Structure 1
Amino acid sequence: MHKNLSRWREGEQAGRRYAFTAPSPTRYPWQWYWDSCFIAIVRSRWDRERARRELESLLAVAEDGFIGHIAFWGRPLDLERAVRYNVVRRRDLTTRTIQPPLLAYAWRIAVGDPAAEPGIAAHHRWLGGHRDLDGDGLLWLLQPDESGLDASPKFDHVWGPRAQGRRRFPLLIRRNRALGFDLRRVADAGGPVVCEVLTNVAWSLSRQACGEPSTTPALVARLWDERTGRFVDEARGAVHRPLPPERVPFTWDTLAPLALPDLPEEIGRRLVEETLLSERFWPGVPLPSVALDDPAHTSRDHYWGLRRYWRGPSWANAAWLAWQGVRRLGYRAEADDMARRLGETVVREGLREYYEARTGAGMGARDFGWTALALEMLSPRAGSGSGSA
């Protein structure tokens, strides 16, 4: 698989050195924040120097600790994408929105101690200072794509026709651009804003990797719904159509907290036994992005000419995050089965962006970097899934 991570780019721009792996050679030519985190983790198996340079390139684009979710290294943003990307000006070096903050966690695995890197400390200060609305340590989002889950159906009721993958999404970008992509200004203007599960899983993983206080207790207190046995986002402001937890589409991110080494064991076992191993998720190629029996599940990734990600197909990064908890909690046979089934799919279909959840047919971009995370599951590192950061 490592041969498919050869989409290496390096150079200098605006006085900053960069080096990164393009997630896919045609569709994704720039540096994406969480793609680089996942790719660096895998690459560190055979090339720790390039893994480090990949992550350092995220720090190179940082401004006062802010790291945007795309860095436009090496080529300018074209006019068509400038309309629908989260930039203030077309010449901007980076978007003005975030992605799940996995940098410190990836650094711990791929490089070493992230607490020794001043840029990561600055990044965490920015996130805590600008995205923690209530002072409980949890982060909030101003657009669905900040979660990395883009057009997930769990956002449909929040943003309605302005959700990503809908025709009015550019209007949401335009409104947020006028507000400087400033979360507090967006919240004061009526939002909506969202305290989202996956983002806060990534945040807790990274804080723990740095030796900072864990936000897992706050995540459980705020987003765990005991009655339904699910983690569910909290939305605030002008929500398009408020829904109770049981009516929110059942999406994979309720399983993402399994990656947290300090998730209460009783919650972890409930997630594995009642959700992951149920007919909702287990028959699919690891890991369906939406429960197989949920009305929102679909294999279609286009709608009226628009790409709509995370509405059913299976993704390797989702599988890897959940797999860590499955293994840590002692479900070794099930963890091995997840690795085997995903690995067989990748060998047969190649490194695709995602896979049809039932058949495993390859979908989306080809030669997609982070799908090599299947290696992390097939050949676990020492301590993987043991609770170590």
Structure 2
Amino acid sequence: MDIEELRSRALAQLLENVRTGFDPYYQQRYTYVMPSIGRYEWQWFWDSCFHAIALSTLDVELAKQELTTLLIPQRDDGFVGHMTYWGRWGSVFSAIAGQSSFGDWRRRNSGMIQPPVLAQALLRVSEESGDAEYLRLMLPKVRSYYEWLGRERDPDSDGLIGVVSPYECGLDNSPAYDAELGLHLPNRRQLLVKNWLLDWHNALFGKGHSYSHLRERNRFVLIEPFMNAVYADGWDAIATMHRLLDQEDDAQSSEQVRDRTTQALNDHCWDASLGRWIYLRGAQKIPDYTLAVGSIFPIIINGQARGQVAEVVERYLTNEDEFWTPYPVPSVAVSEPTFDPEGESTIWRGPVCMNLNWLLARGLRRHGFTDVAAEIEAKSIEMISRDFREFYSPLTGRGMRGTDFGWATTAVDFLGTSYFTGQL
């Protein structure tokens, strides 16, 4: 298979998953890519961002529509929920799902967040489109979202944002969240019940999913290195976009937020004896040493000390006993007792996901680890060349769980790197 054939297949998959319509509440037309027909048909926040990244080199106008639709429900304060239930019956689905703030169902938007990759998506779309007017229209909205995260999810003003549900992290069933859920080696049913009860608790008693209030209730509170790495990386993308528009003061203020979060991760989550970052759970910020992918993710941040990045890359990422599997990068380290490379009933406990590989490879290239990035990119292309799936086995590259999956196409963005010259 050559590069153009794979690109054509990826575009065909994304076009097959496109959903359009008119929403009576917002009085606007919507266009977005469903993650997977028959399994995930609403618009999920970070799925949508990765769809836009993939489309940036395949159909940039559709990529722009994807992000425009994603921000239609944005509140005046900047908030955007982790999923939107589009269409005539959207408010009904929003109400019965239990993930929207109580009484706010007509907005068709959940009350939770997801990993903030919105700025990274807008940057890729802007780089490929060269559309300065679109960037001028969208950047204030995107920045407003990140400012909301800083205000509402960092009440201590220490640079770290918190989450109140595993679903907010995007890595739903990661073993890094087990202890905070009060579980030990849980099965699928236990995880579903715990998360369902938590969703309804947050919706009914969260005062609009207020982080400060839910932290006081202390049902589930977590400082996640992965979330904060993506947040800091997002501010770096915002700085880059401000410079594209010759807005130097705004670029510098964005970098200050990035640097503050980077320093906070190193001050509060870095464990020098382990040579990696750790999770902080509960209002008391209890250390959690689970070796999941979040433990290494701050290496993606621009400005992270290269010596620190090199230590994590050598000790963990490229260590075959940890994250350097035949098909990298697993969502949990091989040495972790909860590592489940072939599991499909409970997710994010071992399998590989293309969206994380995209973020990691991009960060590695930024820090000069081009050979490591190229290996991740090549293996990712090999996996998606078979089929577009939600997850892949880190041992065999076998596609797993969701089929015809939108965000798997994110890996086509790797085809623009110097590693690929025409043939796969």
State how far apart, in whole Å, the 2-side matches of 1:265 and 1:292 are.
25
Q: Which shifted more, 187-196 or 143-152?
A: 187-196
- Indicate how the Cα distance of structure 1 residues 84 and 294 shifts in structure 2: closer, same or farther if over 3 A, else same: farther
1:8-66 CA distance string (max 9 Å, x none): 12222121332111111111111111111111111010322111111111211111211
Q: Report what 1:319 is aligned to.
A: 357
1:173 aligns with 2:199: yes
Q: Report what 1:63 is aligned to.
A: 75
> Match for 1:10 among 9, 20, 32?
20
Structure 1 letter corresponding to 2:218: G
Q: Report what 1:355 is aligned to.
A: 392
> Which is helix-richer, 1 or 2?
2
Q: How does 1:166-245 map to 2 (within 5 A)?
A: 166-178=192-204, 179=206, 180-211=208-239, 212=254, 213=256, 214=258, 215-237=261-283, 244-245=287-288
Q: Report what 1:47 is aligned to.
A: 59
State how far apart, in whole Å, the 2-side matches of 1:190 and 1:336 are.
42
State how far apart, in whole Å, the 1-side matches of 2:391 and 2:75 are.
32
Instruction: Name the SS for the 2:182 alignment partner.
Output: helix
The answer on whether the counterparts of 1:255 and 1:322 sit within 8 Å (CA) in structure 2 is: no
Q: Report what 2:146 is aligned to.
A: 124
Question: How far did residue 354 of structure 1 move?
Answer: 0.3
Question: How far did residue 121 of structure 1 move?
Answer: 2.9
Q: Which shifted more, 30-39 or 218-227?
A: 218-227
Instruction: Name the SS for the 2:112 alignment partner.
Output: coil
Instruction: Name the SS for the 1:365 alignment partner.
Output: strand
Q: Which shifted more, 29-38 or 11-20?
A: 11-20
1:336 aligns with 2:374: yes
Q: Report what 1:76 is aligned to.
A: 89
Structure 2 letter corresponding to 1:70: M
State how far apart, in whole Å, the 2-side matches of 1:82 and 1:153 are.
29
Question: How far did residue 115 of structure 1 move?
Answer: 6.8
The answer on whether the counterparts of 1:190 and 1:238 sit within 8 Å (CA) in structure 2 is: no
State how far apart, in whole Å, the 2-side matches of 1:85 and 1:282 are.
38
Structure 2 letter corresponding to 1:235: R
- Indicate how the Cα distance of structure 1 residues 75 and 365 shifts in structure 2: closer, same or farther if over 3 A, else same: farther
Q: For structure 1, which runs of at least 5 residues remain unmatched after alignment?
A: 383-389
Question: How far did residue 346 of structure 1 move?
Answer: 1.6
Q: Report what 1:272 is aligned to.
A: 313
1:86 aligns with 2:123: no
Q: Report what 1:290 is aligned to.
A: 332
The answer on whether the counterparts of 1:351 and 1:366 sit within 8 Å (CA) in structure 2 is: yes
State how far apart, in whole Å, the 2-side matches of 1:4 and 1:192 are.
37
Structure 2 letter corresponding to 1:130: E
Structure 2 letter corresponding to 1:231: W
The answer on whether the counterparts of 2:236 and 2:302 sit within 8 Å (CA) in structure 1 is: no
1:126-166 CA distance string (max 9 Å, x none): 22221112112321111111011111000001112499824
1:266-290 CA distance string (max 9 Å, x none): 1111111111110111124121111
1:255 aligns with 2:265: no
Q: How does 1:102-181 map to 2 (within 5 A)?
A: 102-111=117-126, 117-161=139-183, 165-178=191-204, 179=206, 180-181=208-209
The answer on whether the counterparts of 2:225 and 2:295 sit within 8 Å (CA) in structure 1 is: yes
- Indicate how the Cα distance of structure 1 residues 83 and 308 shifts in structure 2: closer, same or farther if over 3 A, else same: farther
State how far apart, in whole Å, the 2-side matches of 1:43 and 1:37 are.
10
Instruction: Name the SS for the 1:17 alignment partner.
Output: strand
1:309-351 CA distance string (max 9 Å, x none): 2011111111122212332333333322222222112212x00
Instruction: Name the SS for the 2:35 alignment partner.
Output: coil
The answer on whether the counterparts of 1:249 and 1:296 sit within 8 Å (CA) in structure 2 is: no
State how far apart, in whole Å, the 2-side matches of 1:9 and 1:376 are.
23
The answer on whether the counterparts of 1:161 and 1:169 sit within 8 Å (CA) in structure 2 is: no
> When the two structures are superposed, what TM-score results if normalisation uses the length of structure 1?
0.88
Structure 2 letter corresponding to 1:19: T
1:310 aligns with 2:338: no
- Indicate how the Cα distance of structure 1 residues 26 and 202 shifts in structure 2: closer, same or farther if over 3 A, else same: same
Q: Report what 2:6 is aligned to.
A: none
1:353-375 CA distance string (max 9 Å, x none): 00122112111111111111222
1:377 aligns with 2:399: no
1:87-141 CA distance string (max 9 Å, x none): 2356550111000111122111112675763322322232222111211232111
Structure 1 letter corresponding to 2:11: H
The runs of 4+ residues in structure 1 deviating greater than 6 Å are 78-81
Instruction: Name the SS for the 1:104 alignment partner.
Output: helix
State how far apart, in whole Å, the 2-side matches of 1:346 and 1:360 are.
9
> When the two structures are superposed, what TM-score results if normalisation uses the length of structure 2?
0.81
State how far apart, in whole Å, the 2-side matches of 1:107 and 1:192 are.
31
Q: CA RMSD in A?
A: 2.5
State how far apart, in whole Å, the 1-side matches of 2:403 and 2:413 are.
20
